[in-house]
Structure 1
Amino acid sequence: MDARRKDSLLWGVVGGLAFLVLVQGYELLADEAVALTVKTGVALGVLVVTALAAHALRPRLAGNERT
């Protein structure tokens, strides 16, 4: 696996886990449970969208780095 694809997948994992943290905080504060299937489905969707966005925007963002 090349570095670009690996970076994109890792950003996707970060996005999915961040969503799960937000849902956990919601459940703790609202005393309302969210179904496991809903959490899993949305987290996977966030993972895919984040990975695709990271892959598509990498060339544009790479030029903004400071050296």
Structure 2
Amino acid sequence: MGDGEGGPDAGTDSDDAPGSDGGGRAVGAPATPRVRARSAALWGAVGGFAFLALAQGYRLVGPGSLPVGLGGTVSVAVAVAVASAGLSYLAEARLRAKRRT
């Protein structure tokens, strides 16, 4: 079956080295909850650091300081990180179901 589903090699990746046990995930296989959580955590870190970079740029180039101090900026960055991690966790399942990943 040429579409990567079923067949005798369904559990192995075509990029596995010859003689390996084929421990890699097959292309198109559903992501495990652990992999999805790790991906979401990384996207959350990206979102939090992106907010901190934007806040720093605003402080350097903008008209003045932000209406919140350093603690408030970090709190907002944590909130952005949690929100982006949660949204990416939920969106990945939806996009995978529609085969858009």
TM range (shorter): 0.7 to 0.9
Q: Which of 61, 81, 84 is the equivalent residue of 1:50?
A: 84
Displacement of 1:59 in angstroms is 1.4
Displacement of 1:2 in angstroms is 1.3
TM-score w.r.t. the length of structure 1 is 0.86
How many pairs does the alignment contain?
Answer: 65
Q: Give ranges in structure 1 of 5+ residues lacking alignment.
A: none
Displacement of 1:61 in angstroms is 1.9
Q: Give ranges in structure 2 of 5+ residues lacking alignment.
A: 1-32
Is it true that 1:13 corresponds to 2:49 in the alignment?
no
Sequence identity, in percent? Answer: 35
Displacement of 1:33 in angstroms is 2.6
Structure 2 Cα separation of the partners of residues 30 and 57 of structure 1: 34
Displacement of 1:31 in angstroms is 4.7
The structure with the largest alpha-carbon Rg is 2
Structure 1 Cα separation of the partners of residues 51 and 83 of structure 2: 12
Please provide the CA RMSD for this pair: 1.5
TM-score w.r.t. the length of structure 2 is 0.59
